[in-house]
Structure formats: structure tokens, C-alpha cells
Amino acid sequence: MEGTPQGGVISPLLANIALHGMEEQLNKFAETLLGRKGQNQKALTLVPYADDFVILHKDIEVVLQAKTVIEEWLSQVGLILKPEKTRIAHTLEEYEGNKPGFNFLGFTIRQWKVKSTTQGFKTLIKPSSKSIKTHYQKLAEICDKNKTAPTRALIAKLNPVIRGWANYFSS
């Protein structure tokens, strides 16, 4: 969105206001799919966070159709999906040259086929490579800036950063 500073306190609220109704539009679309309306609405999931969102469904064709529905809805409110930030992915296998899984809010979400579960797969959610690299760089920067500081002072500066990262990724 234009007019709001990225990372500003009000940006997520304004994004949620602007995107209000997107979930309703997806629910209407889900009702048009073959099968039971209630099950289709549960199977097609929108996970929004400020101006980022993920659409989940077991059938990649439904996701592609949902993308079209979202693009049409966004155009009505004067917004577009940025192609460089839009990615269609499958959590189990490669899709159109993309590795399996996707990154969202600093996490990598991916699934592996296994025989030991009734579903036939296990889901792994872990910090993304980018999140790990950024965290490492921040810790290295603190260490570099405090080379001559006493050990207690260095630990006092590192602890909140490590604790915050660990709390965020604890789930």
C-alpha cells in the first residue's frame, strides 16, 4: 500500500482494513466448488497477516483459481498482487521449478511423504534460512561492537536478542 510507512505501527491495521472482505470472497468461491459447501470452505484456508497472506488447499488447481478470485477482488479496491512477491508452491513436491514448501513470517513450511502416519505425510515448520542468517548477523554485530566489553555486559546485550528470537520461533 502507498502512503503508509513500511514497518509502521499503523500499517498492519490499515492493511487489514483494506483487505477486509477477501476471506468472504474466498468463502463465496469455495461454495462454487464441487462437493459440500461447508467442507469446501474449511478446505480452502486464508491465513492473513497485515499485507501478507497464504491461501492453502490440497488441490493446486483450486489455489490457482483462488488466486484469480483474489486478483479480481483486489482490482476492485485498487490493489494488485506483485508478481515478484507472489508464489504458487506445493508443500510436498516441486511445482513449476520451485522447491517444495514456502516461507511465511520467517518460517519455512514443508511436508515430507512418510508411511508412518495415516495422512501419508509429516509437516515440518522451522525458522527459514533467511531468518537464521539475519539472527546470526545480528548476534555477530553485537559481539563485534562489544569486543572489549566485560563478559557480563556482552551477555546482557545478547540475552534479550536470543530470548526474543527463541520465543518467536518456540512454537
Higher per-residue confidence, 97 vs 34 = 34
Which pairs count as long-range contacts for 39-46, CB under 8 Å and 24+ apart, including other chains? Answer: 46/22
Buried b (16+ CB within 10 A) or exposed e, 98-132: eeebbbeeebbbbbeeeeeeeeeeeeeeebbeebe
Claim: this prediction has a pTM higher than 0.75: no
Mean pLDDT across 57-65: 87
Rounded (to 5) percent helix, strand, coil in the chain: 45, 15, 35
What single-letter DSSP state applies at residue 170?
Answer: -
- pLDDT tens digits for range 144-159: 999 999 999 999 999 9
- pLDDT at position 130 is 95
At 8, the pLDDT band (50, 70, 90 cuts) reads low
Residue 1 binned pLDDT confidence (cut-offs 50, 70, 90) = very low
The pLDDT tens digits for 84-109 are 888 888 787 777 777 788 899 999 99
Is the model's pLDDT at 124 over the cut of 80?
yes
Average pLDDT (119-145) is: 93
- Tell me which of 121 and 146 has the higher pLDDT: 146
pLDDT at residue number 82 = 86
Residue 141 clears pLDDT 70, i.e. is over it: yes
SS3 49: strand
